[in-house]
Amino acid sequence: MEQQNDNEEKQEEQEHVQKIWSWGAGTEGQLGTGRLEDEHLPQLLLHHSSLLPWSDPISQLACGGAHVIAMTSGGKVLTWGRGTSGQLGHGDLVNSLCPKVVSSLENNFITHVSAGWSHSGFVSDDGRVFTCGDGSFGQLGHGDYRTHCSPVRVSYFVNKHVEQIACGMRHSLVLLKGCSGDQIYAFGSGKRGQLGISKDKVKSVGLPEVTYGLEDVKIVSIAANGDHSAAVSVDGCLYTWGRGFSGTPDAQFPQGLPSSLRFTVVAVGWNHALALTGEGEVFMLGGNYHGVLGDLEKMGPAKQLPADSREAILQKVPGLNDIKTVQIAAGAEHSAVVTENGEIKAWGWGEHGQLGLGNTCDQTSPQAVSLSHTPNEATAFKVYCGSGFTFVIMTPCDPSQT
Amino acid sequence: MSYDDVEIEDMEWNSELQAYTYPCPCGDLFQITKDELKLGEEIARCPSCSLYITVIYNLDDFLADSKTTNNNNNTPNQPIAVA
């Protein structure tokens, strides 16, 4: 009886600690609502305390094609959504409607996760990297081009300390910790140059190879989605490679963006990239389709861009002028940000309700999402975008005082 | 307007759907069957949304394929890359 009270108390406490909302495409169970339908408005995952059989809150989410990976502050991992390629790491090939622990990782303290179209990556505190899911393009890095339904350690990195992994549609990037020179490795499909490993066209590689062209810079974060790859250096330079933005040619190697702006983080979609500056400004690269999927006819033929003018396609996101942005996220064709005062804003493609505005309209500028919660300074919001869906996590800044 | 142009070699044969597929940004898959390809169809649609892609392929490859009978028996259940 006492224990039951204890549990109840814990659950109540958790309600105060963290809240999670999801919306958008939901037919694979990726929203974690327990239903297989799209949601056009933010859904509070009411029973999320039962999702977590322990008390540590979620510290990071990763949203992929139609699956989600949640990492807790205690280094544990849960996954849900589409699992037909083994991307959930549960040892089977089935979807999961609700979050389930990735039990084979329980002996590791996971510190970084990434979700691709149909594969997943996990990094542990001691620098190991594990992958599972679809391996048919070599995107798992095991050299066998096979599908794995439980996370398998990528043995190539056995003598190296991995810090981050970024999973795209059919490729993966790995960032090593604290090393200059060969810091980024890539594997999987390379057809659009997204691996950055060779000046010749590479169809795919099944084992990690070094990404060239970043020997003299220190990279602090990496991102991958669709056929794009991106990285930000410690001095704020943004590098992209892979599929070209806005009709520009594909880049076989990392290309530094010619800009005086200093970026802190980058997020990539399938046709656009978002970059956040240290001053809290958001810039967008590309976006031919992004946000204008429904408006293409109205817009007429695409504007002819001057050849070799990458700066011309970097534009400041309109409508975020009066407030600083603290976090950015990119889905395949939509975007979401968190502003300094705790507001969530979304824009782009809206056909599945992924903007959370209660309809299926597209938006060309950021629109405020209503979360049935008054933002205040005591809470921190984080937003995450999957291909056609969105998650928000609200965590009190100082849980010990609630 | 077509979301993208995709070469048939970049699509995956899905034996469950009996169709060539390619990821759709909504999370579902663009799909086109061999029969459609034989008829010269070049649009692969997503069953979940309004988007579609243009498939780039050589019609003769599929017309020839129909003459050399069905030797698809070794297709595994897993979607595999059409290399």
pLDDT of residue A75: 96
Question: A 51-80 residues with CB below 8 A of B?
Answer: 65-66
pLDDT of residue A374: 64
CA distance A290 to A389: 15
CB A58, CB A382: distance < 8 Å: no
Local confidence band at B80 (pLDDT 50, 70, 90 cut-offs): very low
pLDDT of residue A1: 43
pLDDT of residue A309: 52
CA distance A146 to A107: 24
State whether B27 and A289 contact (CB < 8 Å). no
Determine the residue among B26, B49, B50, B56 to mutate to test chain A binding: the one whose Cβ has the most chain A Cβ atoms within 10 Å: B26
pLDDT of residue A50: 53
Nearest to B48 among A27, A134, A289 (CB): A27
pLDDT of residue A296: 38
Local confidence band at B9 (pLDDT 50, 70, 90 cut-offs): very high
DSSP conformation letters of A16-77: HH-EEEEEE--TTSTT-SSS-S-EEEEEE-TTHHHH-SSSPPEEEEEE-SSEEEEEETTS-E
Residue A338: both structure tokens together? 């968190």
Local confidence band at B56 (pLDDT 50, 70, 90 cut-offs): very high
B68 or B38, which is more confident? B38
Local confidence band at B22 (pLDDT 50, 70, 90 cut-offs): very high
pLDDT of residue A128: 98
pLDDT of residue A51: 55
Q: Nearest CA to A124 among A91, A154, A101, A85? A: A154
Nearest to A388 among B25, B50, B81 (CB): B25
pLDDT of residue A398: 61
pLDDT of residue A303: 43
For residue A169, the chain B residues in CB contact (below 8 A) are 23
Kindly provide the ipTM of the predicted complex, given to two decimals: 0.89
State whether B23 and A169 contact (CB < 8 Å). yes
Amino acid letter, A197: I
Q: Nearest CA to A115 among A39, A58, A166? A: A166
| Nearest C-alpha in A relative to B10 | A191
pLDDT of residue A244: 93
pLDDT in tens, chain A (402 residues): 445 555 545 444 444 668 899 999 999 999 999 999 999 999 998 655 555 555 688 999 999 999 999 999 999 999 999 999 999 999 999 999 989 999 999 999 999 999 999 999 999 999 999 999 999 999 999 999 999 999 999 999 999 999 999 999 999 999 999 776 789 999 999 999 999 999 888 999 999 999 999 988 999 999 999 999 999 999 999 999 999 998 889 999 999 999 899 999 999 999 999 999 999 999 999 875 544 443 433 333 344 444 445 555 788 998 887 899 999 999 999 999 999 989 999 999 999 999 999 999 999 999 999 997 666 666 789 999 999 999 999 988 764 544
pLDDT of residue A207: 98
For residue B3, the chain A residues in CB contact (below 8 A) are 289, 293
Instruction: Give 3-state DSSP helix, strand, coil % of chain B, rounded to 5.
Output: 20, 30, 50
pLDDT of residue A311: 52
Residue with tokens 């600083």: A324
User: What does DSSP assign to residue A400?
Assistant: G
Q: What is the mean pLDDT of residues B51-71?
A: 79
CA distance A222 to A272: 15
pLDDT of residue A230: 98
CB B51, CB B65: distance < 8 Å: no
